[in-house]
Amino acid sequence: MQQNNEVKFQTRLFRLKQVLEIIPVSETTWWAGVKSGRYPSSIRNGGMTFWRSEDIYDLVRSMGALDD
């Protein structure tokens, strides 16, 4: 029987304040980056805006700030 060693993480949703603690830019810069496609797009739920944790961590990795 083959063993699966893959670790799966549950997706978390970040609010803008949490995102900006990870990506240190201003709100204006963040929203301009979202609009231009530089930063990941948001999802909305119940009138609130969120970003998926994996999208934010992928962005950080692509910027070279996290080592695998």
Tell me what the mean pLDDT of segment 25-50 comes to: 97
Tell me what the mean pLDDT of segment 14-23 comes to: 97
pTM of the predicted structure, to 2 decimals? 0.77
Q: Minimum mean pLDDT among 5-9, 28-32, 59-63: which range?
A: 5-9
Number of domains in the chain: 1
Q: Assess if residue 25 is contained within a domain.
A: yes
Q: Assess if residue 3 is contained within a domain.
A: no
Distance CA 10, CA 13 (A): 10
Domain of residue 28 covers 13-62
Q: What is the pLDDT of residue 25?
A: 96
Distance CA 68, CA 55 (A): 15
Q: What is the pLDDT of residue 65?
A: 61
Q: Assess if residue 4 is contained within a domain.
A: no
Q: Assess if residue 5 is contained within a domain.
A: no
Q: Assess if residue 55 is contained within a domain.
A: yes
**What pLDDT band is residue 11 in, cutting at 50, 70 and 90?**
confident
Q: Assess if residue 1 is contained within a domain.
A: no
Q: Assess if residue 68 is contained within a domain.
A: no
